């Protein structure tokens, strides 16, 4: 599609131009369009959206690059392009997101799972190797349930409790637990931190990917995050650590002796979060870098 044309204009001229809109050409056009608008990963976005329209994977787009799109296919692709131009997250448009090998449902009301958060799962698995046969885990601020589900699928003999304050997120997380076939090991509760738990409930592991963006920084986030993802899952208070502090306190009270806390933090928060764990009496405090080399997860062991 020439740069001067939008997909909707091209589709209106299908009698003259449909034979020119091959998969390769339309992906290249959409990629350029997204790039000019400052959207992240423009090529990936263009391919994922067209894959959805055609019902194929991205490899098939490459193999069938010379195939001409039909008018209905162009119209359907146009609708998805318009949504992405408005900075709607691709994961919301598709309705699903891959995380740690699992396809999860996502949409407005839940944070889109990021690859960096897979680091939280890996830390949780690594630091509970000593109790891999059985244990009880608590995942706070569960959102879509991605961390709880990924951990539960790797540790099917554990019992995992996931909690979120948002009723909308809880509904999505429960659906994802069913989609993943984890209903025998994981369950989701609605509540503010541990308020929905029995008073005597204790755990061997607490994980959390809490809101950690400083309030003043929310306005600087990319449009697809700022305008579409829930503020409740982003806003970490004045210094970004308001909810992290609550997570540390809940873990201090709810972990059994030698239980593990693992929490995701912002790109410049690892040192301050480590100090929070130290002051709360956690030992063996460690920081783990994500795939981009940023210290993303802080973890420690509750004193016994």
Render pLDDT for 254-301 as a digit per residue (tens, 0 to 9).
999 999 999 999 999 999 999 999 999 999 999 999 999 999 999 999
Say how far apart CA 34 and CA 160 lie, in whole Å.
40
- Tokens standing for 121? 């799962």
User: Pick from 281, 273, 205: which is nearest to 243 by CA?
Assistant: 273
pLDDT at residue 1 greater than cutoff 60: no
Structure tokens that stand for 55 in this block: 């019902």
Whose tokens are 């369950």? That residue is 187
CA-based max dimension of the chain? 76
CATH number for the domain running over 7-86 = 1.10.8.10
- Residue 214 corresponds to which tokens in the numbers above? 């400083």
Per-residue pLDDT tens digits for 108-133: 999 999 999 999 999 999 999 988 78
**Residue 207 near residue 150 (C-beta atoms within 8 A):** no
Please check whether residue 162 is in contact with residue 145, taking contact to mean a CB–CB distance below 8 angstroms. Answer: yes
Digit-coded pLDDT (tens) for 175-234: 999 999 999 999 999 999 999 999 999 999 999 999 999 999 999 999 999 999 999 999
pLDDT at residue 290 in the model: 96
Could you confirm whether domain 108-302 is CATH 3.40.50.150? Answer: yes
Query: How does pLDDT run across 90-111, given as a tens digit for each residue?
Result: 999 999 999 999 999 999 999 9
- The pLDDT of residue 14: 41
Residue 239 phi/psi, 5° resolution? -110, 5
pLDDT at residue 89, rounded to an integer: 96
Q: Identify the burial level of 6 via C-beta atoms within 10 angstroms of its C-beta, where 0-12 means exposed, 13-18 middle and 19 or more buried.
A: middle
Task: Give residue 13's pLDDT.
Answer: 43
Residues 6+ positions from 129 with CB-CB distance below 8 Å: none
Among residues of the chain, what percentage have pLDDT more than 70?
A: 93
- Locate the domains of the chain by residue range: 7-86, 108-302
Indicate the pTM of the whole model.
0.89
3-state secondary structure 98-145: EECCEEEECCCCCCCCCHHHHHHHHHHHHHCHHHCCCCEEEEECCCCC
């Amino acid at each position: 599609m020439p740069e001067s044309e939008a997909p909707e204009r091209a589709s209106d001229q299908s009698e003259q131009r449909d034979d020119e809109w091959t998969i390769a050409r339309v992906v290249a056009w959409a990629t350029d369009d997204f790039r000019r608008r400052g959207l992240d990963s423009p090529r990936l976005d263009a391919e994922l959206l067209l894959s959805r329209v055609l019902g194929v994977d991205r490899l098939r787009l490459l193999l069938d690059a010379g195939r001409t799109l039909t008018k209905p296919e162009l119209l359907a692709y146009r609708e998805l392009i318009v949504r992405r131009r408005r900075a709607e997250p691709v994961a919301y448009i598709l309705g699903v997101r891959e995380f740690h090998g699992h396809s999860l449902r996502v949409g407005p009301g839940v944070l889109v799972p990021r690859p960096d958060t897979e680091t939280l799962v890996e830390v949780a698995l690594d630091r509970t190797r000593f109790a891999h046969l059985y244990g009880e885990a608590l995942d706070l601020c569960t959102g879509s349930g991605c961390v709880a589900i990924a951990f539960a699928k790797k540790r099917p003999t554990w019992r995992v409790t996931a909690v979120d304050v948002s009723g909308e997120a809880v509904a999505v997380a429960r659906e994802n637990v069913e989609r993943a076939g984890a209903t025998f090991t994981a369950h989701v509760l609605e509540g503010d931190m541990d308020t929905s738990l029995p008073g005597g409930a204790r755990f061997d592991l607490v994980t959390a990917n809490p809101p950690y963006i400083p309030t003043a920084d929310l306005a600087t986030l990319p449009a697809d995050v700022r305008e579409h993802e829930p503020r409740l899952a982003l806003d970490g208070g004045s210094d970004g650590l308001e909810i992290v502090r609550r997570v540390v306190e809940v873990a201090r009270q709810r972990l059994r002796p030698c239980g593990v806390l693992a929490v995701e933090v912002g790109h410049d928060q690892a040192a301050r979060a480590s100090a929070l764990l130290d002051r709360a009496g956690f030992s063996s405090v460690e920081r783990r870098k994500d795939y981009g080399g940023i210290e993303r997860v802080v973890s420690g062991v509750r004193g016994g």
